[in-house]
Amino acid sequence: MERLRSSPLHANISTALDKHLESIHVVQARRKDEIVNASSRQRHGPPRCQDERVVLALAAALRALCLATRKVRTVLWCAFEMTLPK
């Protein structure tokens, strides 16, 4: 889009994209923690209190990803509108 405009876009656009990518990485890490925790639970017996914390951390990460996705969709739409010829 910057190439089409021949000028840089607003800094908030790149910030929103960076936050979205960071949210994706956090969700991936939380999901990996959940998988590791589930596999260790199968080896050691009954579930523990830590299982709930891992699931709650994943849920919080998914919520943050949802909010970041909404924001980045809006930002990209605004960037698209600014890129269109007048």
Q: Is the pLDDT of residue 77 over 80?
A: yes
What are the pLDDT digits (tens) for 46-61? 655 567 889 899 999 9
Residue-number span of the structural domain to which 21 is assigned: 9-82
Residue 16 lies in a domain: yes
What are the pLDDT digits (tens) for 2-41? 666 677 788 889 899 999 999 999 999 999 998 888 777 6
How far, in Å, are 19, 36, 48, 54, 73 from residue 44 at the CA level?
Answer: 37, 12, 10, 17, 43
Residue 53 lies in a domain: yes
Q: How many domains are contained in the chain? A: 1
Residue 1 lies in a domain: no
Residue 33 lies in a domain: yes
Question: Which pTM does this prediction carry?
Answer: 0.79
Residue 45 lies in a domain: yes
Residue 3 lies in a domain: no
Rounded-to-integer distance, Cα 77 and Cα 56, Å? 32
Note the helical H segments in 1-86.
Answer: 2-5, 11-44, 49-83
